Structure 1
Amino acid sequence: MPQTYKSSMQRPTCTMLRVRSPSDAHVIFHAVSLNLLPIVARRLDTEERRAISSGCVFVWEERGSGSSESAGIGIERWTDSIRWGPSRVKDEFLYYHEKEPEAADLDLVAELDGPLSAHHYSRGLYRENLIKQTYSVFVETPRGRRKWHLIAYFTQESLEYLHNIDDIPGLANLQVPSGKYKSARSGKGPRPSFGYDPLPGNPYYTPYPPRHQPTTYFDLSAIDHNRRPSPRSSNATTRTLSSPGSLRLSPSLSPSPRSLQFLVPSRPSLKNAAGALAPLAYLENIPPPRRHPLDEEALMSFTGLRV
Structure 2
Amino acid sequence: MVKNRFGIGRGVDALFSKVDSSFFAKLSIEQVSPNPYQPRTNFNKSELKELSESIKQYGIIQPLTVRKIADNKYQLISGERRYKASKMAGLRTLPVYIKQAEDNEMLELALIENIQREDLDPIEIGISYKTLIEELKITQEKLSEKIGKKRSTISNYIRLLQLHPIIQAGLRDFILTIGHAKPLLSLINQDKQLEIYNIIVTNSLSVRETEEIIKENNEPLYLSNKKKTNKLSSNLLSIQENLADLFEANVKIKSLKNGNRKVEIHFMSEKKLHEFIENIKL
TM value normalised by structure 1:
0.26
- The one of the two structures with greater contact order (alpha-carbon pairs below 8 A, sep at least 6) is 1
Structure with greater proportional helix content: 2
Larger Rg: 2
